[in-house]
């Protein structure tokens, strides 16, 4: 196949901008839009009610998708979730439960460690479900059930649209399992599905605000180290933000749970190191804001990605602000907040003249250990 950049300078820019469409398409595949409920397009070969545990394994950005999904699977399906990066999981010799489900996540479906994690789980009697973007891949072929992401070919080395499509699949899976396990009522499910259906439009809105990211990117480009903070699903998203930034701009960056700030990273706070706080208006907003204020009180270099309400409640001096629509609230905000996080890394790197589609030393697909 031939994929071109269209009117974009880079594949990454094109892929970031495709997200409302491909996430919408992926959601449409896993939701019954007329009924407003989740509808898996495959049969599960196990009874969700008797599932004892879910294990998730993946590498890189796909692993962060799994970390976000843990919050959803626990909350909406009341499933206990064990998750680890594939290169650790495969050698840990972890005991796996009877009637356990293994979910592997991979854009390419060819990552060597992820494939080894799948095989380990299979040998230990787990049901295998893979969330993959390439349906003809080895991981897809070796899985009992394949939940495809409909992201289309992803060319940029740093994963963007595959990530948000993985989140979309996980969200629908969590709702479907939640219903099957008798955790969610129809009404609760409908309300959550309505939130999901709103996400692609909100992603488009976030993309329309790209101009406000450029001045923040110029500021971040001067840094030698950056800290990202978030709570709940915004915690793994903060790690994904840090990964994107270091991959593309070669600036050292770390994502941290905001509540863990005082156990270490608070010692790093000074006027120079940007601290990027992800603060969607969800259940943890108040706590995240209080962590933000701890940074402010120490003269930190604060950048907020949040709604006007978050900014108002923060009542702190900000070096940068990326405003997100107030309507992006609730459990699935990570889907939408992924957009400014990706755009920020993209703009920092292009401002610094880096090759965002082919960062040094990185490969799109890591097929050797």
Contact residues for ligand G6P, defined by CB under 6 A: 59-62, 106-108, 111, 114, 157-159, 362, 364-366
Work out how close the CB of 30 gets to ligand G6P at its nearest, in angstroms, rounded to a whole number.
19
- The answer for residues whose C-beta is within 8 angstroms of residue 189's C-beta and 6 or more apart is 36, 37, 38, 175, 178, 179
Closest CA to 45 of 150, 126, 109: 126
User: Which residue lies nearer to ligand G6P by CB, 109 or 300?
Assistant: 109
In which residue are the tokens 């993946």 written?
A: 58
User: Which residue lies nearer to ligand G6P by CB, 191 or 366?
Assistant: 366
What's the order of all strands across the beta sheet hosting 81-85? 81-85, 53-58, 100-106, 127-132, 145-148
User: Which residue lies nearer to ligand G6P by CB, 60 or 178?
Assistant: 60
Closest CA to 342 of 280, 279, 249: 249
User: Which residue lies nearer to ligand G6P by CB, 62 or 199?
Assistant: 62
| Neighbour tally for 52: CB within 10 Å | 12
Work out how close the CB of 242 gets to ligand G6P at its nearest, in angstroms, rounded to a whole number.
14
Distance CA 153, CA 318 (A): 38
- The closest residue (CB) to ligand G6P is 60
What secondary structure does DSSP assign to 96-151, as a single string? --TTEEEEEEESSS--HHHHHHHHHHHHTT-EEEEEES-TTSHHHHT-SEEEE---
Please confirm, yes or no, whether 262 is among the known catalytic residues.
Answer: no
Distance CA 300, CA 313 (A): 17
Work out how close the CB of 351 gets to ligand G6P at its nearest, in angstroms, rounded to a whole number.
21
Distance CA 127, CA 138 (A): 17
User: Which residue lies nearer to ligand G6P by CB, 105 or 184?
Assistant: 105
User: Which residue lies nearer to ligand G6P by CB, 159 or 333?
Assistant: 159
Work out how close the CB of 116 gets to ligand G6P at its nearest, in angstroms, rounded to a whole number.
12
Work out how close the CB of 19 gets to ligand G6P at its nearest, in angstroms, rounded to a whole number.
15
Q: Which residues pair with 303 in a beta bridge?
A: 276, 320
Active-site annotation holder among 5, 122, 246, 364: 364
Phi, psi of 67 (to 5 degrees): -65, -40
Work out how close the CB of 320 gets to ligand G6P at its nearest, in angstroms, rounded to a whole number.
26
Distance CA 52, CA 100 (A): 5
- Residues labelled as active-site residues: 364
């Amino acid at each position: 196949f031939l994929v071109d950049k269209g009117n974009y300078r880079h594949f990454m820019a094109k892929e970031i901008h495709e997200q409302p469409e491909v996430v919408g398409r992926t959601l449409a595949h896993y939701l019954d839009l007329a009924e407003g409920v989740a509808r898996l397009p495959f049969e599960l070969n196990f009874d969700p009610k008797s599932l004892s545990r879910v294990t998730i394994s993946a590498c890189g950005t796909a692993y962060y998708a799994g970390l976000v999904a843990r919050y959803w699977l626990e909350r909406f399906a009341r499933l206990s979730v064990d998750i680890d990066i594939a290169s650790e999981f495969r050698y840990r010799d972890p005991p796996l439960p009877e009637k356990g489900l293994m979910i592997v996540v991979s854009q390419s479906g060819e990552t060597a460690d992820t494939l080894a994690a799948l095989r380990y789980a299979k040998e230990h009697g787990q049901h295998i479900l893979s969330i993959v973007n390439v349906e003809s891949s080895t991981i897809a072929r070796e899985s009992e059930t394949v939940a495809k992401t409909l992201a289309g070919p992803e060319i940029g080395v740093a994963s963007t649209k595959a990530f948000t499509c993985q989140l979309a699949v996980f969200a629908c899976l969590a709702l479907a399992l939640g219903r099957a396990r008798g955790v969610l009522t129809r009404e609760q499910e409908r309300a959550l599905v309505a939130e999901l259906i709103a996400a692609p439009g909100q992603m488009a809105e976030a993309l329309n605000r790209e101009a406000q990211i450029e001045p923040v990117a110029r500021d971040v480009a001067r840094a030698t180290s950056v800290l990202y903070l978030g709570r709940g699903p915004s915690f793994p998203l903060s790690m994904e933000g840090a990964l994107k930034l270091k991959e593309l701009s070669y600036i050292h960056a770390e994502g941290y749970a905001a509540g863990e700030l005082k156990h270490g990273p608070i010692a790093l706070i000074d006027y120079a190191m940007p601290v990027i706080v992800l603060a969607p208006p969800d259940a943890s907003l108040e706590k995240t804001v209080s962590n933000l204020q701890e940074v402010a009180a120490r003269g930190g270099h604060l950048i907020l990605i949040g709604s006007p309400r978050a900014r108002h409640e923060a009542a702190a001096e900000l070096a940068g602000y990326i405003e997100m629509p107030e309507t992006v609230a609730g459990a699935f905000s990570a889907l939408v907040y992924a957009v400014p996080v990706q755009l920020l890394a993209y703009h920092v790197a292009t401002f610094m003249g880096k090759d965002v589609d082919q960062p040094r030393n990185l490969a799109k697909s890591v097929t050797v250990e």
